[in-house]
Amino acid sequence: MSTTPLISSAFSRATLREGLAVARLFLRVGLTAFGGPAASIALIRDEVVVRRRWVTDEQFLDMVGAANLTPGPTASKVAMYVGQARAGLLGLVLAGLSFMGPAVLVMTILAWAYTRYQTTPAAGWLLYGIKPVIIPLIALALWGLGRKAIRSRFTAAVSAGVFALTLTDLSPLALLIGGGVLVGAVQNGAQVRAWVRRHGLLPLPLVGAGTLATAGALSFSPAALFLVFLKTGAILYGSGYVLFAFLHDDLVTRYQWLTEQQLADAIALGQLMPGPLSSSAAFIGYLLHGVPGAFLAITGIYLPAFAIVAVSGGLIVRLRRSAWASSLLDGVNVAALGLIAGVLWNLAHTAFPDPYTVLIAGLAALLLWRFKISAAALVVLGALLGLLGSLL
């Protein structure tokens, strides 16, 4: 069957005006999204649910659930889902490119400076002021999403249980699937029991990660660089730190293309930059093969995400029409809230090193609750207050 009518239809639904609105929004979010995936998702929700009302909280929760269940950078996929809902395939592409574009460009420039001067810029004051304002921002997003997702004591208990388990070494993917299956089974108990009587208990399929077929070390080439990052993007679940675990195993230990110090510097710079932490792939790609390497690395790690969102976007709506699938998605959503709460807990441990940062967080909470300041403006304010604190 020809795909031409499908592509034509997708672009006819996405007017140029809608596509440009999506691009402008996610370009700004990409410039101000400090603090990791949870903070980025909170920023996106503030813009598309609260301020613009492009999607409802229920729709946004479904997008977060789908993004958590599929491989690839989570916050970037949420941006793509929103862009797709607003402006079709064009919106999907523009949302993804605009969200990651600023960080990728800055990381490439920093990689050039790094190779030239063999050092990384000091910008600790940036995170010093931004981390405290991220705390109330994520908390507010959790409150708003939780009011929609948690509909009973049972779902509240599931979310709380997932939060508790995030403090262990359990896989985030296992927690999401477990939460979804548990809620789905409880809400559809009669159907589950009937199915078990007919078919017996079958083990759940395991989500495995394939490795590149190599014998020992892999000789460097542009194609090999692209394949390593393509594989990583296709199997990446969890936070940006999971990404660095994969890259350490491949690039430092197995293939020895990078040193420990180079990877550590990529991690440090990725944390200081806005946008997705996976933009560090551009930094690493540049170190290995200049500008073409940065392009190959970022393309490889994001290509699976673009493809997955393009294929699965319409599936979310169809899932909601099935009682069983809808319950499963409800469970994934409440489990995702538990994961975000875990990120909030961990971030709070490093966000308040002194009383000044506590005051910054208090001011941010007041501005959010009382004056409804935008998340982007709040992040800029945090950066300015961090700079002020460094000068005192």
Structure tokens at 382: 């945090």
pLDDT for the residue 8: 47
The model's pLDDT over 314-331, given as tens digits with 9 standing for 90+, comes to 776 676 667 777 787 778
Q: Provide φ and ψ at 202, rounded to 5°.
A: -110, 140
Query: Looking at the domain assignment, is residue 252 inside a domain?
Result: no
Q: Do 231 and 212 form a contact (C-beta atoms < 8 A)?
A: yes
Residue 4 has what pLDDT?
47
The percent of residues above 70 in pLDDT, for the chain, comes to 78
Residue 255 belongs to a domain: no
Q: What pLDDT, on a 0 to 100 scale, did the predictor assign at position 239?
A: 53
Can you give the pLDDT at residue 129? 82
- How confident is residue 337, by pLDDT bands cut at 50, 70 and 90? confident
Measured in degrees and rounded to the nearest 5, phi and psi for residue 33 equal -85, 75
CA angle 20, 23, 27 (to 5 degrees): 145
Question: Does the predicted TM-score (pTM) go above 0.85?
Answer: no
Name the least confident of 7-21, 111-125, 205-219, 235-249. 205-219
Q: Quote the domain boundaries for residue 349.
A: 12-196+303-391
More confident residue, 197 or 62: 62
Q: How is residue 9 written in tokens? A: 């239809």
- H/E run at residue 222: helix 222-235
pLDDT number for residue 205: 37
Task: Quickly tell me which residue has 């190599």 as its tokens.
Answer: 214
CA distance 70 to 8: 27
Q: Residue 131's Cα: distance from chain center in Å?
A: 17
User: At which residue do the structure tokens 């596509």 appear?
Assistant: 19
Task: For residue 333, give the nearest of 137, 205, 162, 122 by alpha carbon.
Answer: 162
Task: Tell me what the mean pLDDT of segment 254-259 comes to.
Answer: 87
pLDDT digit string (tens) for 224-249? 999 989 988 887 755 555 576 677 77
Quick one: what percent of the chain has pLDDT higher than 90?
24
Is 235 a domain residue?
A: no
Whether the pLDDT of residue 204 is over 60: the answer is no
203: which DSSP letter? P
Dist CA 90 CA 37 (whole Å): 23
The pLDDT assigned to 186 comes to 84
Asked if residues 332 and 158 have their Cβ atoms less than 8 Å apart, the reply is no
pLDDT in tens, 149-193: 788 899 899 989 988 988 886 766 678 788 888 888 887 766 655
pLDDT band for 292, please (50, 70, 90 cuts).
very high
Do the domain assignments include residue 277?
no
Closest CA to 340 of 111, 163, 109, 155: 163
* pLDDT of 335 above 90: no
Report the pLDDT value the prediction gives residue 284, as an integer from 0 to 100: 93
**What is the reported pLDDT for 79?**
94
Q: Is residue 217 part of a domain?
A: no
Q: Please indicate, yes or no, if residue 386 is contained in any of the structural domains.
A: yes
| Least confident residue range of 10-14, 23-27, 134-138, 196-200 | 196-200
pLDDT digits (tens, 9 = 90+) for 75-117: 899 999 999 999 888 999 999 999 999 889 989 998 898 888 7
User: Rounded CA gap, 257 and 171, in Å?
Assistant: 28
Amino acid at 200: G
What pLDDT, on a 0 to 100 scale, did the predictor assign at position 27?
Answer: 93
Domain assignment of residue 16, yes or no: yes
Average the pLDDT over 128-147 and give the result.
80
Q: Has residue 207 been placed in a domain?
A: no
| Count of domains observed in the chain | 1
Higher-confidence residue of 285 and 350: namely 285
